[in-house]
A and B are shown apart, each in its own frame.
Chain A
Amino acid sequence: MQKFDYIIKDEVGIHARPAGLLVKEAKKYESEVRIAKGDKSAAATKLMAVMGLGVKCGDTVTVEVEGTDETAACEAIKTFFESNL
């Protein structure tokens, strides 16, 4: 399993559009991608669940990736966070 922490810099947090793009990105991979904030977590392939985490600017999220292509998936998701959130 691969994982990383990320502090959200976008001023409205993980809002609808980046959440949607994140879902698209996550769906490209076999691996399961989960995003956790505090004790809540959501599969990155589920838009409303991701938005439902209510991630705001300054929040730290933990992203966990597990599966056959986890290295590539983790790298891609990390890049996605850095350039969009």
Chain B
Amino acid sequence: MIKFFGKSVFKGIAIGPVVVLKNEEQKVKRRKVEQPEAEVARVAQGVKTAQEQLQALYEKAIVEVGEASAAIFEVHQMMLEDEDYLDAIYNMIRAEQVNAEYAVAVTGDNFSEMFAGMDDDYMKARAADIKDISNRLMQCVSGNNESNLNFQEPSIIVADDLSPSETVQMDKKKILAFVTVRGSANSHTSILARMMNIPALIGVPLDLDKVQSGMRAVVDGIQGEVIFEPNEFVCEETERKIKKEQEKRQLLHELNGKENVTLSGRKVNVYANIGGIGDIGYVLENDAGGIGLFRSEFLYLGRDDFPTEEEQFQAYRQVLQTMGEKKVIIRTLDIGADKQVDYFNLGKEDNPAMGYRAIRICLKQPDIFKTQLRALLRASIYGNLSIMYPMITSVQEVEKIYAIVGEVKEELGKEQITFREPEQGIMIETPAAVMISDKLAQMVDFFSVGTNDLTQYTLAIDRQNEKLDEFYNPHHEAILAMIQIITDNAHKYGKWAGICGELGGDLELTETFVKMGIDELSVSPSMILPLRKRIREIS
């Protein structure tokens, strides 16, 4: 048994035979040709074949990993249409009377060196794309489509690094896991692995000459470890874990792609609640219609100072791009109460649940709020963004929020930074907000009920206090009556109402909510398909 640790980009478990992929530089021979035009024609034909392959890869990637990640193949197609690149190949064949393969190889090297020499990390990385398309073109021209990516049985792929096209090209059914020596968490391959739900470890310090295809291995993405030649005990343990995972998945995937619609035809949006970028794989895996609650706190927690506008922008952009046209509702900072962060210097409070938290911090310290709003608006052009404000108790708070949003928009306008107008909504989690929901509905685009806090405030029960458990009734008729009021008031003004608290995923209440007219339920990713199943049973 040899064990290595790496960074896990998708937390899954796999066991099986290893296939080691080594990138052997293709040696291309220079040949003198009598009929250069015939070689030119071979290249033209090769380009056509390569374009078809890339189109197929693009379509495969859209289905498997989403449009944003698939775009790389669209870019490859565009590169392969580039006049300068193709002219350079054709000119070389004609001027030097050389074979097509050689001209493609040399031109590919030249162009890739041009990018490698640029003083910009992004452009430097494009050198790999040019190598990738040139290799593809060369294979198409020589008709040599034998690739070591075709292996017979499902395997664990071990490589130095993998290009995006290598990753997508492999038959997904035959990949058990990826283990790479290099690679970053944000590389295309990591993103693809995450989207494809394949256990993957990167940055694993192993020597590729010491492992061979055919060895057995266990990849545990939860522990972040790979074990080559595992003993019997480890194998059995792993098999058991995998079986459990599979059973769970099988049940759920029968419902994948189906609508959230009742027998009588009423549709309900079922979205996901997430607390970080790492959850997006689960959102897609469970076929969420969108993100109904993106807790932005994760950006603020576990660090020593405020996240910069740029850091926030990058995080929001990534989520929006990954989700494409699907709605992404990002809730602004909800720090305070049970979520304490040292650098906010909030001080100790006797009653933090009713204390200085969430929108109250944002309105009293508008600099913090503005940084987040700027990052959100800048990211808005990358997808379908909605912004949601927490802990609202009054009309005046919403007016103040809009005034600050207005200032931020004006600043961005002056800096000529474009943004899309996001939908703006509020959390309904205080009894006050319920009572004035008639007025609030006229000001916002949507309501989302935070049932955890709403229940705590309505029943006057501290949820952290175990002694009160017997008094705590999450199905209390007061809460249900409130949800009805909220929904009716939203609908009166043509707005939509949803639930993003725990109650939203309570299958005993799904029918009640649907009958009340609730438009959206946002739940943890693992609850999406069970909820869909329940909705589809309602008459």
| Chain A residues near B (Cβ < 8 Å) | 7, 9, 11-13, 15-17, 19-20, 23-24, 45-49, 51-52, 54, 56, 82-83
Contact A17 B119 (CB under 8 A): no
Residue of A with least CB distance to B123: A54
A–B pairs, 21, beta carbons within 8 Å = A9-B416, A9-B418, A11-B313, A12-B122, A13-B122, A15-B122, A16-B78, A17-B71, A17-B74, A20-B79, A45-B83, A46-B82, A48-B79, A48-B85, A48-B111, A49-B82, A51-B115, A51-B123, A51-B126, A52-B114, A83-B418
Which listed residue, A17, A48, A82, touches B82 by the CB 8 Å rule? A48
Contact A16 B75 (CB under 8 A): yes
> In the complex, A83 Cα to B382 Cα: how many Å?
11
Given contacts A20-B75, A51-B115, whether A46 and B120 have CB atoms under 8 Å apart is no
Residue of B with least CB distance to A85: B418
Given contacts A49-B84, A52-B115, whether A13 and B418 have CB atoms under 8 Å apart is no
**B129 CB-CB contact with A under 8 Å:** yes
Which listed residue, B78, B119, B381, touches A20 by the CB 8 Å rule? B78
Which listed residue, A16, A20, A46, A56, touches B84 by the CB 8 Å rule? A46
Given contacts A51-B123, A82-B418, whether A17 and B75 have CB atoms under 8 Å apart is yes
**B81 CB-CB contact with A under 8 Å:** yes
| Chain B residues near A (Cβ < 8 Å) | 71, 74-75, 78-79, 81-85, 111, 114-115, 118-120, 122-123, 126, 129-130, 310, 313, 381, 416-418
> In the complex, A72 Cα to B496 Cα: how many Å?
41
Which listed residue, B83, B118, B129, touches A54 by the CB 8 Å rule? B118
> In the complex, A16 Cα to B129 Cα: how many Å?
10
A11 CB contacts on chain B under 8 angstroms:
310, 313
B310 CB contacts on chain A under 8 angstroms:
11
B118 CB contacts on chain A under 8 angstroms:
52, 54
Contact B79 A47 (CB under 8 A): yes
Contact A23 B418 (CB under 8 A): no
* A16, A19, A23, A52: most-surrounded residue (chain B CB, <10 A): A16
> In the complex, A82 Cα to B418 Cα: how many Å?
8
A22 to chain B, nearest CB (A): 10
A7 CB contacts on chain B under 8 angstroms:
416
A26 to chain B, nearest CB (A): 12
A61 to chain B, nearest CB (A): 14
A17 CB contacts on chain B under 8 angstroms:
71, 74-75
A83 to chain B, nearest CB (A): 7
B63 to chain A, nearest CB (A): 19
B115 CB contacts on chain A under 8 angstroms:
51-52
